[in-house]
Chain A
Amino acid sequence: MDVLNNLALGLATATEPINLLLCLAGVFLGTAVGVLPGIGPLAAIAMLLPVTFHLPPEAALVMLAGVYYGNEYGGSIASILLNIPGSPSASITCLDGYPMARAGRAGVALFMTAIASFAGGILGIGIMASLSPALAAFALLFGPAEYFAIMLLGLISAAAVSSTGAVRGAMMVFLGVLLGTVGLDITSGQTRFTGGSLDLRDGIDIGIVAMGLFGVSEVISSMRDPAGMVLRGRFRLADMLPTGPEARASAGPIARGSLLGAVLGTLPGTGQTVSSFMAYALEKKISPNRSKFGTGAIEGVVAPESANNAAAQTSFIPSLTLGIPGSPTMALMLGAMMIHGITPGPRIIDEHPQLFWGLVVSFLIGNLFLLILNIPLIGLWVRLLKVPGEFLYPATVAIICIGAYSINLSLFDVWSVLVFGLVGYALRLWRFEPAPLLIGFVLGPMMEEYFRRTMLLSRGDAMVFIERPGAATILLACLLLFAASVLPFSRIAASARRALLQAR
């Protein structure tokens, strides 16, 4: 009954004309920003922050939140159409979304992404509305050892999904972890592996790695490809609808991905990226179509998309109820709240119910807007693929150059994107996948922080990872997942069956 009253309060707040308008503006802007490489939600929210000073706090947060989760959808568009992930969590969508686009099924990929994102968002909102205090308490149970373990699980998942084999995938993951150590060590203040360069002092920007490894290398690979993309004559509504078997095959992955994302989203910092990779890894393990993953399987698109959108909603739980921002973007949103005199923390639901429940209902409305806005635009995005390659790829190169330069107004970043692009192309030639490298790069620094914190708290006793049941369970899952990916269980089982038959 309480939840219903709260939702009614939230509905009254969220449906005020100003809040509706700002929600629409936020999701539209977030989607647009997500498509452009180099301009992430952090830049968009930072630019909008001064505008929000003059707005009521609910309106300010509704708009900024719209930018945040709208950006997830925009990042998926770039992943599917251009193989350039707009965010780390969208990089897994490249694996199957881009092959679908190349096979002339970009409309289906974008449509199902919209549906999966909506479904994931709704489940995340439902969980947020009903279980916020419980999930906040759950997040508090996680100590540094558990955070380290869950991130390691995310890395192993990324290795396990690699179509070139778990060993090569793991190699890329740890190479990404190494790249993430370049720059300033927060704990000691010492610079690492910078070669004395001031430009590398702050480390390598994630946008640079993504644009180089995915964008530039893809342009080099495809720009003179005589096969090109398969383009149908006219794009019709039917071209974006999945087939019956595809629709049926998507239901399970969407449900599982949404649940996984909703739970993992409550862990600050890890939620979206880890959940999208784990959702993909899970589906790849259990799907009857697992051989199609990496070549355009619809399950490989909908699972991570539902997971990262569910996580995008529930990532507000630790931020609002515990005051723990999981990312720089979330930190900026909390800053916006504090500017309006609202202190995030355990009492926010009681002290500012209008804000909290208004935000929850606005997420629902925002996800509806995303669906309504983006489905009609699918035809427009797909028509982008009709642009001949000789026009599209130079445009992509120009956008990447400007996008890279716009991050810090530093030409060092442009050179870095070029270097990563050439490295990414070389990785492709030797059949290495770049997606695991990206996740290693993102999670590596956080893993290091939690690992060092764990060792400090345990006074140097590494057995703490076994003694804490949560960490031990997750580490065991890591081991089993890696073993399942590396060892040829089907061949071992077949040999065992043959031996048994011979023994009889």
Chain B
Amino acid sequence: MHSRALIAQAGNLAVLCVGAAFVLGAATGLDLGTPRRLGPGAFPLMAGICVIALALCSILIDLRRAQAPARADAMAVLAVAGAMAGFALLSPLAGVLPATFWAALAASLAARRPGWLWRLILACVLTGLAWLLFIRLLQVPFIAFRGL
């Protein structure tokens, strides 16, 4: 019962912690200045206090009508995270186009449709379109294939 209530409030608590972190960072690490010449820490401190106050209000409101969070789709999270992380890791090693191929292939792994052929064709087509649009037409200075 308590763990369910805690999970329901986890979002509010996370925001509260973020607000508290900013307040702590501003109060201890930045100059607050004077009322006339506000320092770099003043505004984040005020905004952080607002976040904490609103998070506490939200916690109180949600105590009466707590709703459990929706179920996360782990497969989708892993596929998208793997795709984007792979793009970021592969780009400096192999170039943007191989990284794009990986991103499209990895993201397609979350699809319920079985088969590898359509995934490989999709990745090739998207890589080709990326080359055409970004490198050829928009002239964005990407390195298409590192080492070439």
Contacts and interface: CB of A to CB of B under 8 A. Distances in A.
A300 to B, nearest CB: 23
Contact of A170 (B48, B54, B113, B130): B54
A174 B51 contact: yes
Interface string B78-97: 01110111011001100010
B86 to A, nearest CB: 9
B84 A401 contact: yes
Interface stretch (A104-112, A185-193, A201-209, A236-244): A185-193
A192 B35 contact: no
A84 interface: no
B75 interface: yes
Name the interface size band of chain B: 35 or more
Contacts of B35: 455, 460-462
A425 B36 contact: no
A71 B41 CA distance: 36
B77 A425 contact: yes
Contacts of A391: 122
Given A193-B44, A224-B112, A174 B54 contact: yes
B126 A394 contact: yes
A390 B108 contact: yes
B84 A175 contact: no
A92 B8 CA distance: 27
Contacts of A177: 47, 50
Given A178-B22, A390-B113, A393-B107, A171 B87 contact: no
Given A216-B80, A216-B84, A431-B67, A188 B31 contact: yes
- Describe A's contact surface by its main secondary structure: helix
A369 interface: no
A459 B30 CA distance: 21
B58 A398 contact: no
A295 interface: no
B43 A452 contact: yes
16 contacts: A47-B138, A175-B19, A192-B25, A192-B30, A193-B25, A220-B76, A394-B122, A397-B83, A398-B103, A399-B130, A402-B100, A418-B81, A426-B14, A451-B43, A455-B37, A455-B38
Interface of A: 39, 47, 165, 167-168, 170-171, 174-175, 177-178, 181, 185, 187-188, 190, 192-193, 216, 219-221, 223-224, 226, 389-391, 393-395, 397-402, 405-406, 409, 411, 414-415, 417-418, 421-422, 425-432, 444, 448, 451-452, 455-456, 459-462
Interface of B: 10-12, 14-15, 18-19, 22, 25-26, 30-31, 34-44, 47-48, 50-51, 54-55, 57-58, 61, 67, 69-73, 75-77, 79-81, 83-85, 87-88, 91-92, 96, 99-100, 103-105, 107-108, 110-113, 118, 122-123, 126-127, 130, 134, 138-142
